[in-house]
Chain A
Amino acid sequence: MEQQVATSPHALPPAEASAGRRGSRLSGLTQYAGFIPALVLYGLFFLVPLGLIVAYSFWQTVDYEVVHKWTIDNYRYFFSVPTYIRTMWATLWVALAATAITLLLAFPLVYWLVRYVRRSLRTFLLVLIVVPFWTSYLLRVYSWLNILGEGGAINRFLLWTGVTDKPVSFFLYDRPAVILVLVYLYFPFAALTLYASLEKFDWNQYKAALDLGAAPPKALLRIVLPQMKAGIVTAVIFVFIPILGEYLTPQLVGGTRGVMIGNLVVNFFSGAQYTRGAAASLLIAALIVVLLVIFRKSLEVEDTYRA
């Protein structure tokens, strides 16, 4: 209130009032100064490149030249060729399967950590979960070639135990291998997110449900999971969305049967077809935006037990 009076033009001579207005405007602006680095970073390294990709997607490539002639041909092409639709569906299917398996594996581990492991040991186990991040992504994917390959650990074990008398080839270079490696790669994201969500849970509610006669699975389903909704949705975002853009894992362990849409996009860029590549990238981005909007709605958590 005092500030309002002090900056009121009626309370000060005109020159001072004008200076006061400038000062107020300045102080109003300076409070946003902290945003400037983020704004510059976001603008320069996200919005500008995104704008360029959008422009490229509506241009043409003629004889290795990007011709600035507007067209929707790149988009028309994708929707007219069934291969891309099929590959997009395959990508969605892989992302969905990998996300579901990751969450199904992460939840019991997190549940066990939160409920049965003492706090001091919990930190150590959480560190173990993120240990894979200490090595490079590429190395982690490559290591699976040594596990799943014909001369890999699984085949050696099978040969050693006599289950088979020659190496089995179906562990590698197919969609299941891609899903398996993706689950391994994204497991820490899901586990840490679910842990953060479950750690805050008030277990008295769960006990109350048991006291009132609910079986443990039902209490878990009706009491625990609904309150973890935000954590689950966040875990899904952290796992599902990046998988949609994956290309290295299918490239290395997927073979020709495990191709995802990212691999085709890479072919466009390495073949200097930037305009086609830009359109394909934007289609994936558009799908991700749609999914994020859906997920965002799920994140608007309401009081589950409101009357």
Chain B
Amino acid sequence: MSLTEGRLTRADLLKLGGAGALGLTFAGPAFGRVLSPQATTMTMLTWSDHYANDQLAAVAKATGLQGRPTLFSDNADAFLKIKQTGSQFDVVSADGLWVPKYVKSGLTEPFDLSSLPASKQLFSIARQFPFWKSGSNYMAYPFSWSTVQIYYNPKYVKTKPDSWHAILDKKYAGKISLENIPTDMMAIAGRATGAKKPYDMTKPQISRAKQYLKGLKPNVLKLASQNNEVVRALADESAWIGITNLGTDDRVKDAGGPVVKATYPKEGTVGFIDSESIVKASKHKDNWEKFINAMEQAPWIAKNFITNGRPLFNEAAYKLLVNQGHGDRARRLLYNKPELALKMTIKGPAGDQQAYIDAFNEVFGA
């Protein structure tokens, strides 16, 4: 190399680049070790309300297991991600009937729930969901639940909308906000139109659900990409009605918004029971129980409730909330009634997912 002449030839540049790349490759792990001594990364495919950054930091400090979350919105999306890149994840969050689907597809594996000390903090009913039992093992660690119901602003909505059909009224044009989750919206539309199994509708039922959504569309202000957008729309009063999870009233209030009230449609509703599972192809399966056990401790779960305001399955956290003076709020949001979770239509995979997405797109396209 003729650097003394002040000129760098292409060959020199390539050699230097190659040497640099090799150097970085070898030096990288060494630096990694210096920066995080013996930390094992637990990659989580999850929702944003399943963890807090200070919680991850504390768990990493206590266990040497650093949680690294990747977010998803729709169960179907997460399912396919795990299917295609399973070994890149250690923990996956899933709703209700998606959990057996994961196990049946060989993507997650059941475990002995009682081997996790934190499981003793759970409501007993959460340890016995029939659809999560696999012999003597359990398919997932229960986390939280919520119904999806109608929240309305009584300042503008004078008559309580106690039916899914009540929100089709033209006076609500452009005043309803809901999350853009096609499968669940189709299931709600199925509920509205009398489908007994809204996640497993037949073609005529899908067609009726589609007609319902067509009627609803002019009233929809926006299909929100995240739940906080629904809260925001209710808070700034651009939306009068929100189709959303339990605890929205508190979150709207926290955002400086008006009083909004919840109502349960008489046709019934859907809801979620969510959880954490072991990814079968995970490279850190041995650390899963230790990690989840640390993540699911009552103080963190109580904090999670205060932040996200929907019931969780940790009974010890409920008692902690009562002791901390949050009992009224917890009871109002049904934290003390986990048995109600089994009364709703639990979210799960659609029987004919393609038909659900097609129908939804055909309604909400231009």
Contact = CB atoms under 8 A, between A and B. Distances in A.
B204 to A, nearest CB: 19
Interface of B is mostly: helix
Q: Is the interface of A mostly helix, strand, loop or mixed?
A: helix
Contacts of B17: 37
A197 interface: no
A83 interface: yes
A269 B365 contact: no
B226 to A, nearest CB: 10
B357 interface: yes
Contacts of B360: 267, 271
A267 B361 contact: yes
Given A83-B366, A252-B225, A255-B174, A271 B236 contact: no
Interface string B58-88: 0000000000000001101101100100000
A34 B14 contact: yes
A84 B363 CA distance: 10
B35 interface: no
B4 to A, nearest CB: 23
B212 to A, nearest CB: 15
B217 A267 contact: no
A271 B353 contact: yes
Contact of A149 (B223, B238, B363): B238
B182 interface: yes
Nearest to A170: B174
B349 A64 contact: yes
A150 interface: yes
Interface in B160-192: 174, 180, 182-183
A269 B79 CA distance: 12
B222 interface: yes
Contacts of B174: 169, 173, 255
Contacts of A260: 366
Contacts of A271: 74, 76-77, 182-183, 353, 356-357, 360
B73 A270 contact: yes
Nearest to B186: A271
Contacts of B229: 252
B357 A273 contact: yes
A230 to B, nearest CB: 30
Contacts of A83: 361-363, 365-366
Interface string B220-232: 1111010001001
Among B73, B101, B236, B357, max chain A CB count under 10 A is at B357
Interface in A80-113: 81, 83-84, 86-87, 89-91
Contacts of A172: 238
A60 to B, nearest CB: 9
B77 A270 contact: yes
A256 B221 contact: yes
A272 interface: yes
B238 A169 contact: yes
Contacts of B339: none
B128 interface: no
Contact of A151 (B182, B225, B237): B237
Interface in A146-170: 149-151, 167, 169
Contacts of A89: 366
Contact of A272 (B218, B223, B353): B353
Given A81-B362, A173-B174, A272 B80 contact: yes
B25 interface: no
Contacts of A7: none
Nearest to A280: B361
A276 B355 CA distance: 11
Contacts of A263: 364
A233 interface: no
B225 A268 contact: no
A272 B366 contact: no
Nearest to A175: B366
Contact of A64 (B80, B180, B221): B80
B10 interface: yes
A273 B174 CA distance: 29
Contacts of A79: none
Contacts of B14: 33-34
B323 interface: no
Interface string A52-76: 0000000001011000000000000
A273 B10 contact: no
Contacts of B361: 83-84, 264, 267-268
A259 B366 contact: yes
Contact of B222 (A77, A255, A267, A268): A255
Contacts of B365: 83-84, 86-87, 259, 264
B358 to A, nearest CB: 7
A34 B10 CA distance: 7
A276 B221 contact: no
Contacts of A64: 76, 79-80, 83, 101, 105, 349, 353
A84 B225 CA distance: 21
Interface string B11-31: 100100100000000000000
Contacts of A91: 366
B79 A272 contact: yes
Interface string B246-263: 000000000000000000
A48 B361 CA distance: 29
B38 interface: no
Contacts of B218: 256
Nearest first, the 4 A-B pairs at minimum CB distance are A272-B76, A83-B365, A90-B366, A271-B357
Interface of A: 30, 33-34, 37, 61, 63-64, 77, 81, 83-84, 86-87, 89-91, 145, 149-151, 167, 169, 172-173, 251-252, 254-256, 259-260, 263-264, 267-274, 276
14 contacts: A61-B354, A64-B101, A64-B353, A77-B358, A83-B363, A84-B365, A149-B238, A251-B180, A255-B221, A256-B364, A260-B366, A268-B357, A271-B74, A276-B358
